[in-house]
Structure 1
Amino acid sequence: MLSPLHWLSRDAPSLLRQIEAIEERIDHEDYEGPADQEDDTMALLAYLHGTCLAVLGEPHRAIRELEIVLRLKNKLVQHVFLVPHAMIELAKCYNALGNNERSQNMLHNGWKRFFTNSLKSRLLSNIYKKMEMIQNAMAANGLRRALK
């Protein structure tokens, strides 16, 4: 079974062209969408554009698009869910550029703002932390065994 990322990496160039065409129509005011949802539409397009660019290995351009989502966060009505996802994608882009500190800060801030109030997300976080601890312990034990 193919992962969604495989599908996206295969079809990203085509999807990117479609997104850019829609953005161009909006910029030239040929797009007729609901006026009260313009910011939501722009945030969604920026998110899709940014994720496609990230998959195509263009993190600098992806960051510019994903930051649009963060700038629009206070104006979003329906697509508020895009903000934490954009933060995660931004963190991945910063990590790809070697800016690990900024990546960690982005993830930490996203966690504090969006995920600390949710019981499910706290549980998921605890599971991942425990898994990481176990994997590190197993790796350390494996290393110790290899050294003996």
Structure 2
Amino acid sequence: MATQPIMLVEEAETAIHDLELTKKKIKTAFQNADDTIKDMDNFLEQVTWIHGSPSELKTELRAPTNDQDKLKSDMENSKADMAEFLKKYDPTNQVQKVTAKALEEANTKRGRLVDKIAKLDDVVDSLKAEYSGLKAKNLELKRGTKEGENILPRH
């Protein structure tokens, strides 16, 4: 019977140890999340610094060649930073996959719209042809009545 309390104490110590490990893992996860948020904030700050506001960007684009070369270099660095960021935070390329899927859907919808527009153009063309035919027939009827012909039957 003396072994049972010892086993309970050992189980309690193991449970406490497991809880402490879990607590450390949670702290590490929170720290990693904080680091990720800081990295993202830094990245956004760099993008804002490189590109600036739209009016600043327009001014830089009109700047002399040296400034344009610097801007081009900064933009290439920004692309490299973005690639590094995606590699770090999107290792499975979900952003690229979602973007490709959205682009494919947009192209599909665009294709459908082009088809619908073509059908509408066909309808408009046939209506124009029908209108031209009716207009010609109306003109013919008007000419016939002017010349004294009685084209329409009387009842």
Could you say which TM-score interval applies, normalised by the shorter chain?
Answer: 0.3 to 0.5
Q: TM-score, structure 1 length as denominator?
A: 0.32
Bigger Cα Rg:
2
Q: Comparing both chains, which one has the higher relative contact order based on Cα–Cα distances under 8 Å and sequence gaps of 6 or more?
A: 1
User: Which structure shows the higher helix fraction?
Assistant: 2
